């Protein structure tokens, strides 16, 4: 078991503040997407893939013992950014249509309580999305590391 608390810099390859700073590279996409300021284009693709590529490159260039763990931590920070951004831009996103609970829960809660439930669900979903993104990036980094090691042995 990896003990991050003992010395996160040696375990994760960088101090936690640097991992948090790396996750901020994805923040512009959150805001621009929520405000519908970027069309579906090469710019949108760059805003999605460039931060992840930088995270992977920075992690592979660090002395991280486990790139998977390091990128998972970056992903969790990214999930927090997603949750904060989506909550911050909630009213702008839903200017014409207000989200609501459906099915058996439709109309059973006050509008304020319903919004708290929906924002909470969105926040949890954002955290899972960030962690999942970090996990996928971590798996890519592990694959790159494996292929590098294999090539070096030849």
CA distance 59 to 128: 21
CA distance 82 to 89: 11
pLDDT higher for 19 or 153? 19
Q: What is the pLDDT of residues 29-68, one digit of tens each?
A: 998 888 888 877 888 889 999 999 999 999 999 988 899 9
Q: What is the pLDDT of residue 55?
A: 97
Please report, for the chain, the start and end positions of each structural domain, with discontinuous segments joined by +: 8-153
Q: pLDDT tens across 75-118, in order?
A: 999 999 999 999 998 888 777 877 778 877 777 888 888 889 89
Residue 38 pLDDT = 82
In Å, the largest CA–CA distance within the chain is 66
Alpha-carbon dihedral angle through residues 61, 63, 68, 69, given to the nearest 10 degrees: -130
């Amino acid at each position: 078991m990896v003990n991050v608390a003992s010395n996160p810099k040696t375990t994760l390859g960088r101090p936690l503040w640097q991992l948090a700073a790396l996750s901020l590279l994805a923040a512009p996409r959150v805001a621009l997407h929520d405000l519908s300021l970027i069309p579906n284009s090469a710019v949108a693709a760059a805003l999605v893939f460039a931060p992840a590529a930088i995270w992977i490159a920075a992690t592979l260039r660090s002395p991280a013992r486990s790139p998977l763990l390091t990128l998972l931590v970056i992903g969790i920070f990214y999930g927090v950014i997603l949750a904060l951004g989506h909550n911050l831009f909630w009213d702008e996103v839903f200017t014409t249509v207000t989200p609501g609970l459906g099915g058996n829960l439709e109309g059973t809660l006050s509008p304020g309580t319903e919004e708290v439930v929906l924002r909470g669900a969105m926040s949890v979903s954002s955290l899972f999305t960030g962690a999942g993104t970090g996990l996928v990036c971590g798996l890519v980094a592990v694959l790159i590391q494996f292929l590098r090691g294999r090539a070096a042995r030849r």
